[in-house]
Chain A
Amino acid sequence: MSLIGIIASQNYPRSFTVDYLVIAGGGGAGFIGGGGGAGGYRCSVSGENSGGGSSAESSLTLAPSTNYTVTIGGGGTGGVSGTGATTGVDSVFSTITSSGGGTGGSAGATFNGGNGGSGGGAKRDGGTGGTGTANQGTNGGTTPNGDFRGASGGGGASTAGGGGTGGNANNETGGNGGNGIASSITGSSVTRGGGGGGYVEGANATPGTGGSGGGGNGQKQSNSGSAGTVNTGGGGGGGNPSGGNGGSGVVILRYPSSITITIGAGLTGTESAASGGYKRATITAGSGNVSWS
C-alpha cells in the first residue's frame, strides 16, 4: 500500500457502526372507540430495548460516502362515524423498517383494534385488541361485551393497552394506553411510543389516559380524542365525533464522533456536537438520503 493509501485508510474508515432508533407513525384512534397503537419501535442501543420487551437489535455497519434511505412516517387518521381509523405509516432507515401503529376500533365500523407496530385498542362495549408486531410493540386492550364498557387503550412500545371496564354509565372506564420506552440515544433519556387511551360515554366515567411517551388521551361524551405527540409515534386517543390522529415517527442515529453526517434534500434534521465519543442526528421529517464522511 502506498503512503497515500495508508493515510487515506486511517482518516476514512471503510466502515463504521451506527446505532439507531426508528419509530413509525402511531395509529389513529377509533370513533367512540379504542386508542391507537404506538408506532413500531426498533432500537439498537446496547442495554436498551426494542418494542414488546425485546432486547436491542444489532447495530448497522455502514460505508462512508454511501446513501442510506430515511423516511418519517405520518400518524394514522382518527376514525369518524361510519369510517374506521387508519394505521400509522412505516418509518425507515436503511434496512430497518418500523411498522405503523394499529388502528383503534370504531363503533359502527371496525370494532376490533387493528394490528400494527403496536395493536390498537378495541372499541367500546366489546371487541378484541389488535396484535403488535414482534420485537416492535405490544397488543391493544380488549373490551368485554356488554353495555357501558369503556373502549380499550392502544398498545405501547413497552406495555400492552389496558382493557375498558365498567357496567354502568358512572363506573365505566376507558383502558389506558400502554407505556412507551425510554431511550438515551440522544444523550438524555426520553420516552417515546405510548399507546392512546380509550373513550367512555358516561358523564361521570373515566376515559383512558395516553401511555407515557406521547400517547393521546381518550375522551368522554362529545369530545374528540387527543392526537398522539408529534415525533414520538404515539397513538391517538379515542373520542367522539372523532378519534385522535396518531403522532408522527422519528429516526435518531448515533455514530462515531470522527465522522459527520450529511442530511440530504427532502429531510429535516440536526446533528449534535460530539459528546462521549459520539455524534447524534435526529431526523424529524421527510424522505430522502443520509450519508457520512
Chain B
Amino acid sequence: MEVTEASVLLLPFAAASVGVARRRLVSDLIAADVYDSAVCDVALVISELFSNALRHAAPLPGSKIRVAWRIDPGRVQVSVSDGGGPTVPELGEPTQGATGGRGLRIVEKLSSRWGTSAGDEGTTVWAEVPVRQAEMTRIVVPAVATESG
C-alpha cells in the first residue's frame, strides 16, 4: 500500500466537530483496507484527543480546531491542534469508578507513542496507532480468527 498524503481538517471549535472528524477519518481508514478492530482504535484515539482539546484548551484563531491524519502501512498518525490552554496534557489517574481522567490513558494504551508539541500558534497533541491492513494481515498472521455465532 502506498503512503497517503496527510489529510487536514479545520473545523469549528465545537462538540459537533468531534463526530465530523471521526467519521471522515473512519471512511479514510476503511478505504485504506484497515481492519475493523484497528478502525475502532483510531476512532477512539481521535475522539479522545479532540474532546480533550475542546475541554481544556482555547480555539485556534477564528474559533477553529485543526485535526490531521496520515495513513501509512502499519500505522496511522493522528493529531489535534488547538490554541493552547493553561495546562499541558497529562495522564490522569482515575480510580476504578471515577468519571473523568480516562481520555489520555486510552490514547496511551491504544497508541505505540504519543506526544505534544507547542508552537507560536498553539498546542498539538499527536498519537501513532499501529494498524493492520487486510493485505498485510494475510501474510503476517495466518488464521487468528475465531469462530463465533
Asked whether A and B interact, the reply is no
